[in-house]
Amino acid sequence: MNVQHLDEELLDRFAFGEPGELDEVERLRVEEHLAKCSKCSEALELLVRSVRMVEYWGSVKAPESLITRVRMKLRHKTVAPLMPIVVIALGITDVARLWVLAWSLSGGLSTIVEALPRMLEALSYGWTGILRVVLEIVAGSWLRMGGISAQMGVLLTVGGLVLLMRRKEWAN
């Protein structure tokens, strides 16, 4: 007897088609055929088994290094916009250092603009010159802003520092 077997594509759709893939008539025809045909049943079973094997063994898990890499990258990305400020704060040039120091300590753009020519001039005298100008700016603004105790504190601190620097110069 010549039996018409189910073709591979129909079997595949029967096994892996989404709901509604086969209409009710088709589905019943496949089921009836499978019930009495061992050849097609075996073909279906092998197909399903092979796909289940792929589903079971096919996946790879993310290595632990991945989340670390993502963390690092994001840290870098969130820090990046702050970098110019950080770079200036750390000081690429003496002017940048002075600017930031003076700004953060003395309070105000005007002070810096005022002091800029003197800062630049001070650069030619090396570090002691620069520090002296900074201390002047800082002291000046603190004295303007603070009460008497703050003024005394600043005076003593600045005076001490200037003396220390002088001593170094004298030593040279």
Partner 1 sequence: MLKPFEQYVLKYQDMVYNIAWHVTRNQHDAEDIAQESFVRAFEHFTDFSTGEPPKSWLCTVTLNLCRDWLRRQKPVLSGEEKDYRGGGQAADQPEERAAVKEALNALDPESRLLVVLFHLEGFSHKEISEMTGMPISMIKNRLFRARKKMKEILMAEGLRR
**Given 15, 37, 48, 165, the residue binding Zn ion (CB under 5 A):** 37
24 binds, among Zn ion, partner 1, none (CB under 5 to 8 A by kind): none
* Nearest-approach distance from CB 10 to partner 1, in angstroms: 10
Query: Applying CB under 8 A, which of residues 28, 74, 79, 90 lies at the interface with partner 1?
Result: 74
Mark the segment that binds partner 1 (CB under 8 A) among 23-31, 66-74, 95-103, 150-158.
66-74
Task: Measure the CA–CA gap between 133 and 90, rounded to whole angstroms.
Answer: 19
Q: What are phi and psi of 82, to 5 degrees?
A: -85, -10
Residues 13-42 that bind partner 1 (CB under 8 A): 13, 16, 18
Torsion region of 41: left, alpha or beta (phi above 0 gives left; psi -120 to 50 gives alpha): alpha
Instruction: By CB under 8 A, name the one of 35, 36, 38, 56 that touches partner 1.
Output: 56
Among Zn ion, partner 1, none, residue 66 binds (CB under 5-8 Å by kind): partner 1
For the bound state, the minimum distance from the C-beta of residue 44 to partner 1, rounded and expressed in Å, comes to 11
Q: Interface residues with Zn ion (CB under 5 A)?
A: 5, 37, 39-40
Q: Interface residues with partner 1 (CB under 8 A)?
A: 8-9, 12-13, 16, 18, 46-47, 49-51, 53-63, 65-67, 69-71, 73-75, 77
